């Protein structure tokens, strides 16, 4: 019988509900349970795929091509379980399926209503992950904050579901904020009391209350909250600020979260094994080297827009026992060679991540040119790979106006072009999405990093290396290091006679794990450290 845990948030947003949910996933998995995390978001977009990164942060892509909330990245990195289409549901998706059914006459003339139709559809979707994976425990995070109008049907659905799956199989965790008033030197529990009251008014009694706090919560405050919120004192779990998100599961386990969750759900509390995770955190906290990476992009004001890239760089650092410092550069500020060189000479390696549209493109090309001509390690991801190809075409193959047709539809050298099946499609959900095969060229940097002939990586793009120019590039110093065999699409390019200049059409950052860095990130960091050490001897 699958056990269900629902996590809601109270008082304020940005409490780190996703990290808390992911941490709980790891804690339970380390007890030998099969755990799946999922997120239900109350907004009306069908998925975050069409949203501006400034609105929403990164769009995380699953193996099966779902464009999802960035919290799914935390879930995958902490629990090391690959998620799927059913792992992230929005109100928009729920309404879309109901309204399609209504148009097809699926309600047989009945009135279609929030209760029961919308709540039924939410509940149906909440049970899908368990049906697909046979998970012992499903952890469902509800987006938004209790009290939001738009989350009401979701809260009602999780209230109802308790009686569908059995009261003994269902637990509610409410995560709130405990503000610390410096003047009074006091932690304030009133916002939490109000938020729990609000939740109770919606028919839900939380079993566990998690408190985000900057200072440790004393036992008196815990007892007071337990009394006012109808929970056991050991079900008040403090969630203190951590130096790294990867320490949070260890802190939560120490707080007894796993033990009380097992008790509430009637799960036998088995021995936990967090040794590997603990070792990873220790390695992270005790680096032996340091390295500086320049991240050149167009959404740099919001670091969440590149969340998985940042995490993967950190993973690469952990694998190399190195502290990674990221210097953020808005590519629009690279207006000429002098500013580009001045900025980038501070870095040991350069990464150009994904992006859409033409803003900031020329600055990225200058960054790629600098990396190529100065032998600085360069890692191009998706758009960053396309930039590497354009730079090479312009400055090595002398195709002066070479470009992607996304940026310049009338270029005489469309070295990056729209895939034929992408002509005239609607915007949402139609990119080349999800995992595809890639055959690696023997002896390439990529093949040595992966130690494999064939890999599967996740994609999210519309434009592609233009095979019409393949010969020119092959006869030049650009190695085509990876090709999708089914459609003959170039997936990886490498600069020959360069220490490490690799561009990938896919998004390796979605598959990196803190205790198992993605091979390309691991090797990119290693090359950047080598570059730093070489410079040091100059
Ligand atoms: N805009 C480019 C494309 O659609 C790159 C996409 C990306 O970087 N994710 O192909």
Angle between helices 91-103 and 119-133 (to 10 degrees): 110
Q: List CB contacts of 359: < 8 A, sequence separation 6 or more.
A: 298, 332
pLDDT of residue 285: 97
What percent of the chain has pLDDT above 90? Answer: 90
Q: List CB contacts of 98: < 8 A, sequence separation 6 or more.
A: 112, 117, 118, 121
Is 482 in contact with 438 (CB distance < 8 Å)? yes
Specify which residues 495 forms β-bridges with. Answer: 478
Active-site residue list: 382, 507, 509
Is 185 in contact with 218 (CB distance < 8 Å)? no
- Choose which residue among 461, 503, 506, 509 to substitute to test ligand 1 binding: the one with the highest number of ligand atoms within 8 A of its C-beta: 461
Kindly report the protein residue whose alpha carbon is nearest to atom 1 of ligand 1.
356
- At residue 450 the predicted structure's pLDDT band, cuts being 50, 70 and 90, is very high
Asked if residue 274 has pLDDT above 80, the reply is yes
Kindly report the protein residue whose alpha carbon is nearest to atom 8 of ligand 1.
354
Q: Is the CB of 355 under 6 A from ligand 1?
A: yes
Q: What number is the average pLDDT over the span 14-20?
A: 92
pLDDT of residue 310: 97
Q: What is the pLDDT of residues 337-394, one digit of tens each?
A: 999 999 999 999 999 999 999 899 999 999 999 999 999 999 999 999 999 999 999 9
Pairing between β-strand 414-418 and β-strand 463-465 as defined by DSSP bridges = antiparallel
Distance of CA 77 to the CA centre of its chain: 8
What percent of the chain has pLDDT above 70? Answer: 99
Global pTM? 0.95
Distance of CA 274 to the CA centre of its chain: 22
Distance of CA 357 to the CA centre of its chain: 21
Query: What is the distance between the alpha carbons of residues 213 and 197, in angstroms, rounded to a whole number?
Result: 20
Distances (CA, A) of 347 to 51, 82, 316: 31, 33, 16
The strand ranges marked E within 393-447 are 403-404, 414-418, 432-440
**Positive or negative torsion for Cα 305, 252, 152, 92:** positive
Q: Which of 400, 397, 341 is nearest to 366 (CA)?
A: 341
Asked if residue 143 has pLDDT above 80, the reply is yes
Q: Is the CB of 504 under 6 A from ligand 1?
A: no
Q: Is 106 annotated as a binding residue?
A: no
Nearest 10 degrees: Cα torsion 47, 52, 54, 59: 40
Q: What number is the average pLDDT over the span 63-73?
A: 96
- Choose which residue among 60, 299, 354, 423 to substitute to test ligand 1 binding: the one with the highest number of ligand atoms within 8 A of its C-beta: 354
Q: Is the CB of 417 under 6 A from ligand 1?
A: no
Q: What number is the average pLDDT over the span 400-416?
A: 96
Query: What is the distance between the alpha carbons of residues 471 and 35, in angstroms, rounded to a whole number?
Result: 48
- What H or E segment, with its residue span, contains residue 465? strand 463-465
**Sheet order of strands, 170-177 included:** 88-90, 35-41, 137-142, 3-9, 170-177, 208-213, 236-240
- What H or E segment, with its residue span, contains residue 450? helix 445-450
Q: List CB contacts of 466: < 8 A, sequence separation 6 or more.
A: 414, 415, 416, 417
Distances (CA, A) of 535 to 11, 167, 292, 404: 50, 63, 13, 34
pLDDT of residue 259: 95
- Choose which residue among 305, 383, 423, 466 to substitute to test ligand 1 binding: the one with the highest number of ligand atoms within 8 A of its C-beta: 383
**Sheet order of strands, 403-404 included:** 403-404, 414-418, 463-465
Query: What is the distance between the alpha carbons of residues 231 and 208, in angstroms, rounded to a whole number?
Result: 7
Q: Which of 192, 189, 188, 190 is nearest to 176 (CA)?
A: 192
- At residue 538 the predicted structure's pLDDT band, cuts being 50, 70 and 90, is very low
Is 304 in contact with 337 (CB distance < 8 Å)? no
Q: List CB contacts of 302: < 8 A, sequence separation 6 or more.
A: 53, 54, 57
pLDDT of residue 536: 64
Query: What is the distance between the alpha carbons of residues 83 and 76, in angstroms, rounded to a whole number?
Result: 7
Ligand 1 atom closest to 353 (CA): 8
Query: What is the distance between the alpha carbons of residues 228 and 35, in angstroms, rounded to a whole number?
Result: 32
Q: Please, what is the average pLDDT of the chain?
A: 95
Query: What is the distance between the alpha carbons of residues 460 and 462, in angstroms, rounded to a whole number?
Result: 7
Q: Which of 240, 188, 190, 233 is nearest to 208 (CA)?
A: 233
Quote the ligand 1 centre to 10 CA distance (angstroms): 36
- Largest distance between two CA atoms of the chain: 80
Q: What number is the average pLDDT over the span 193-213?
A: 96
Asked if residue 425 has pLDDT above 90, the reply is no
Q: What number is the average pLDDT over the span 465-485?
A: 96
The larger pLDDT score, comparing residue 45 to residue 11, is at: 45
Collapsing DSSP to helix, strand or coil, 419 comes out as coil
Collapsing DSSP to helix, strand or coil, 421 comes out as helix
pLDDT of residue 448: 97
Q: What number is the average pLDDT over the span 15-33?
A: 96
């Amino acid at each position: 019988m699958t056990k269900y845990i629902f996590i809601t948030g109270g008082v304020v947003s940005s409490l780190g509900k996703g990290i808390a949910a992911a941490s709980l996933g790891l804690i339970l998995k380390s007890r030998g349970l099969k755990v799946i995390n999922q997120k239900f978001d109350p907004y009306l977009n069908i998925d975050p795929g069409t949203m501006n990164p400034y609105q929403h942060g990164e769009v995380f892509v699953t193996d099966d091509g779902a464009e999802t909330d960035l919290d799914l990245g935390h879930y995958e990195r902490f629990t090391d379980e690959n998620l799927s289409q059913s792992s992230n549901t929005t109100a928009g998706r729920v309404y879309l399926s109901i309204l399609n059914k209504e148009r097809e006459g699926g309600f047989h003339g009945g009135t279609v209503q929030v209760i029961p139709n919308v709540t039924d559809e939410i509940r149906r979707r909440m049970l899908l992950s368990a049906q697909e994976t046979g998970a012992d425990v499903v952890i469902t995070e509800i987006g938004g904050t209790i009290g939001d109008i738009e989350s009401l049907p979701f809260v009602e659905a999780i209230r109802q579901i308790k009686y569908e799956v059995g009261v003994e199989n269902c637990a509610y965790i409410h995560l709130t904020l405990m503000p610390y008033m410096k003047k009074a030197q006091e932690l304030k529990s009133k916002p939490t009391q109000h938020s729990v009251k609000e939740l109770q008014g919606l028919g839900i009694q939380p079993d566990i209350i998690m408190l985000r706090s900057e200072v440790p919560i004393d036992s008196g405050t815990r007892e007071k909250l337990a009394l006012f919120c109808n929970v056991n004192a050991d079900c008040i779990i403090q969630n203190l600020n951590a130096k790294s998100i990867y320490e949070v599961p260890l802190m939560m386990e120490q707080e007894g979260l796993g033990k009380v969750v097992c008790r509430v759900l009637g799960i036998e509390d088995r021995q936990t094994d967090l040794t590997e995770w603990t070792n990873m955190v220790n390695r992270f906290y005790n680096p032996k080297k340091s390295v500086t990476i320049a991240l050149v992009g167009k959404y740099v004001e919001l670091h969440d827009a590149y969340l998985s890239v940042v995490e993967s760089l950190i993973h690469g650092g952990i694998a190399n026992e190195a502290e990674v410092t990221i210097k953020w550069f808005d590519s629009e500020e690279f207006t000429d060679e002098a500013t580009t060189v001045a900025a980038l000479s501070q870095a040991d390696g350069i990464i150009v991540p994904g992006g859409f549209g033409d803003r900031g493109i020329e600055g990225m090309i200058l960054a790629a040119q600098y990396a190529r001509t100065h032998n600085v390690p360069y890692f191009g991801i998706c758009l960053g790979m396309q930039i590497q190809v354009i730079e090479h075409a312009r400055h090595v193959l002398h195709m002066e106006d070479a470009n992607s047709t996304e940026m310049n539809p009338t270029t005489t050298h469309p070295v990056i072009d729209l895939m034929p099946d992408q002509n005239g499609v609607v915007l949402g959900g139609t990119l080349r999405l999800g995992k595809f095969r890639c055959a690696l060229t023997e002896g390439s940097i990529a093949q040595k990093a992966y130690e494999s002939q064939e890999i599967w990586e996740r994609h999210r793009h519309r434009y592609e290396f233009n095979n019409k120019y393949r010969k020119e590039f092959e006869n030049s110093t650009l190695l085509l290091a990876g090709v999708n065999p089914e459609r003959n699409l170039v997936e990886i390019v490498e600069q020959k006679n360069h220490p490490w200049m690799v561009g990938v059409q896919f998004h390796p950052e979605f598959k990196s794990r803190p205790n198992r860095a993605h091979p390309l990130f691991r090797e990119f960091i290693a090359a950047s450290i080598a570059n730093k050490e070489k410079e040091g001897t100059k």
